[in-house]
Amino acid sequence: MEKAKDSLPTTGDPVPSQGTINPVDETGGSASDEKKAKKGCDFWFTFSSLVLTAFLSALEGSVVSTALPTIARALEASENYVWVVNVYYLSKYETWLTYLLRFSSAAFQPIYGQLADLWGRRWLTIGAVVIFTVGSGICGGATSIDMLIGGRAIQGLGSAGINMLVELILCDLLPLRERGQFFGIIFMFVILGSVIGPFLGGILVDRVSWRWVFYINIPFSGVCVVLLFFFLHIKNAGTGNFIDKVKRIDFFGNFLLAASVGSCLFALTYGDTRYPFSDTRIIVSLVLGLLGHVAFMFFEASPWCKEPVMPMVLFKNRTSAGAYIATFLQTLVSFWVLYFLPLYFQSTQLVSATRSGVMLLPFSVVYALSSLAGGALTTKLGRFRNIHFASFALMTIGMGTLTILNRSTSLAVIVVLEMIVALAIGVPTANLLTAIQAALPDELNALSTGTFAFLRSVGTIWGVSIPAAIFNNRFDQLLPELSDPTAVRALQRGGAYQQATSEFVDSFPSDVRDVIISIYERSLERVWQIGIVFAGVGFLVIFLERDLKLGTQKKTEDIEINDIPQTAADNSASRPNTINDTASQAPILKQRRSTNQERETV
């Protein structure tokens, strides 16, 4: 590795036209990670608003589930009500909404990173919260299912920005070593919002009105907007006028990425359910989606893409590349477990949906607390590689232990296995972004955070779709063992997932019921077995990471200025410290041309 000899100019100096990015003198340019930066009232008000917005976004993703039947009856939605859930996540997860609904535009999560570099974090964040609030109001006041679906799409657009910008603002406000513990707090509230959402939705429907499932966001979002307006003053917008900035947006790259995700999602959602996997529509959709992802990567690296939304420099060193892959796999495994443990509880343990939610609480609680602990541990140790090794090793073992689950497994054993898997999944949640940014210059914070959020979103989609496809395929293979024609018709072609309830299983005679439970047991065993592979790959990927010491080493990898999009470079060069906090806050927000840790080349 070639050592850099010259320092970059500090805040306000122009960005050189060529050369390598080198570290600034950390004693004057950024907060030393050897002692914690002081934080005044403005920081804590801002952080509180970020926590609340992240919580509301997560809450709205799950609160509707228990209210859907009531909403469907009130609006006479019939079979269309499922899109109330789907459109929210599709807009949030980069799917091209016009593919499913008649909308003229779509929400692109990675583009928020590019917009944050062009127009700054402050107004973009306030705008995302306002959009989310407007969507909530439309949903609450909906008089038709079409109006409700439109409101959910708007909510998803705002939520996509909230999830990405919350993390990005923390990167701006905090030195690298301190980010983990604050990310841990954020993710703890995100998990909390996801867990209590169904319970809160049921209470609001029973005690008040289904409309308050959406209206409840409005007063809290209003508080967040006020706090962000008065206390968040990070002026880090790029240079140029409005037209120049619009021209620098990677419209084609975003379209190509969204269309590719949408194509893959169609194949994974309807494969082996509405259509067999051998159906031409499924094959073509999957192939086009995968080829689209390849084309997107080539386009982003090509000279035709002047301002890439996902620059290839993010993947040019082994630490950030490995951490990105680990992010995708960690998210995939977490949703793998989160969606199929309840199915096991209801189809094999034969408990009610409510009881299933209670049985999942140990997983949810440990997941939230371990996320908080993982971030704090990274801050304490100043390293992340060994934490990732231990987490993914335990994750692999934990997925293996789930293969022993059957109808006779005791509650005590179930709780212990849940806690093992939750601990393994939760610990790296809050420090994976730290690992990514440990190997990248701060000019790329916005784009690296946008890519991180996108990979988590894609991991969520695949983390539900892949095990569902495995489960349905295995179930159909074993279905000939079942002799009851009524049960066969109900369970084939994806019906097993939908019919995984104690009421359905108990509706058959004991001999048929035993066969159904046996098929569920073996199908779920296959799901956990394949899950071991994904967790194991995650463990191997950690070998790509370097054991970087956060906040002490001042080595740098050679990253060419030409590799960094001009948007990010301009944004970084013009980023003053402007948060209205105490004077001691200044070191936190001063320009950092490179983070305070060792960086390496591949």
The 10s digit of each residue's pLDDT in 415-440 is: 999 999 999 999 999 899 989 988 88
- Max alpha carbon distance in the chain (Å)? 79
What is the distance between the alpha carbons of residues 5 and 410, in angstroms, rounded to a whole number? 63
Per-residue pLDDT at 567: 54
Question: Which of 402, 511, 554, 583 has the alpha carbon at shortest distance from 23?
Answer: 554
pLDDT of amino acid 459: 86
- CA distances 244 to 47, 305, 307, 362, 444, Å, are 32, 15, 12, 52, 20
Give the C-alpha separation, 349 to 410, whole Å.
Answer: 10
Task: Say which range, 3-7, 204-208, 218-222, 230-234, has the weakest mean pLDDT.
Answer: 3-7
pLDDT band at 379 (very low <50, low <70, confident <90, very high): confident
State residue 564's pLDDT score: 54
Residues 290, 292, 298, 300, CA torsion sign: negative
Q: Looking up tokens 């982003």, which residue turns up?
A: 300
User: Phi and psi at residue 467, in whole multiples of 5°?
Assistant: -65, -30
How deeply is 461 buried, as exposed, middle or buried, from its count of CB atoms within 10 A (0-12, 13-18, 19+)?
buried
pTM of the model: 0.77
Residues 6+ apart with CB under 8 A from 348: 405, 406, 407, 517, 520, 521, 524
Among 2.160.20, 1.20.1250, 1.10.20, 1.10.10, name the CATH number for the domain at 321-436+461-540: 1.20.1250
DSSP 451-482: HHHHHHHHHHHHHHHHHHHHHHHHHHHHGGG-
**What local confidence, expressed as pLDDT, does residue 406 receive?**
93
DSSP-assigned beta bridge partners for residue 275: 271
Query: Do 89 and 156 form a contact (C-beta atoms < 8 A)?
Result: yes
Cβ-count burial 244-259 (b if 16+ within 10 Å, e if not)? ebeebbbeebbebbbb
Q: Are 164 and 450 in contact (CB under 8 A)?
A: yes
Residues 548 and 438: their CA atoms lie apart, in Å, by 7
Residue 167 and residue 449 in contact, taking contact as beta carbons nearer than 8 Å:
yes
Instruction: Give, in order, the Cα–Cα distances in Å from 403 to each of 361, 367, 460, 469, 512.
Output: 20, 20, 22, 18, 23
Q: Which of 302, 321, 297 is nearest to 602 (CA)?
A: 321
Strand partners, 560: 20
Distance, in Å, from the CA atom of 11 to the CA atom of 23, rounded to the nearest integer, reads: 13
The Cβ-side half-sphere exposure at 479, using a 13 Å CA radius, reads 19
- Provide the token pair at 251: 């419209």
Task: Please provide the average confidence, as pLDDT, over all residues in the chain.
Answer: 77
pLDDT at 161: 85
Q: If pLDDT is split at 50, 70 and 90, which confidence band does 28 have?
A: very low
Q: Name the most confidently modeled range: 159-173, 208-222, 374-388, 409-423.
A: 409-423
Backbone angles phi, psi at 271, to 5 degrees: -65, 125
Give span(s): CATH 1.20.1250.20, the chain. Answer: 28-250+566-602
Name the pLDDT band for 581 (thresholds 50, 70, 90). Answer: very low
The CATH number of 28-250+566-602, from 3.40.50.620, 1.20.1250.20, 1.10.150.110, 3.40.50.2000, is 1.20.1250.20
Which whole number is the average pLDDT over 217-233?
90
Where do we find the tokens 């002026």?
A: 235
Higher pLDDT, 215 or 67: 215
Q: Which two tokens stand for residue 278?
A: 């051998």
8-state DSSP, 440: S
Q: How far apart are CA 54 and CA 187, in angstroms?
A: 8
pLDDT at residue 552 tops 70:
no
Residue 13: pLDDT band with limits 50, 70, 90: very low
Task: Give Cα separations from 452 to 147, 262, 307, 484 (angstroms).
Answer: 32, 19, 18, 48
Contact 471, 499 (CB under 8 A): no
Residue percentage of the chain with pLDDT more than 90: 26
Residues with Cβ within 8 Å of residue 340, at least 6 apart in sequence: 467, 471, 524, 527
Single-letter residue type at 479: L
Total residue length of the chain: 602
Structure tokens at 65: 């589930």
Q: Which of 512, 506, 510 is nearest to 346 (CA)?
A: 506
| Of residues 7 and 110, more confidently modeled | 110
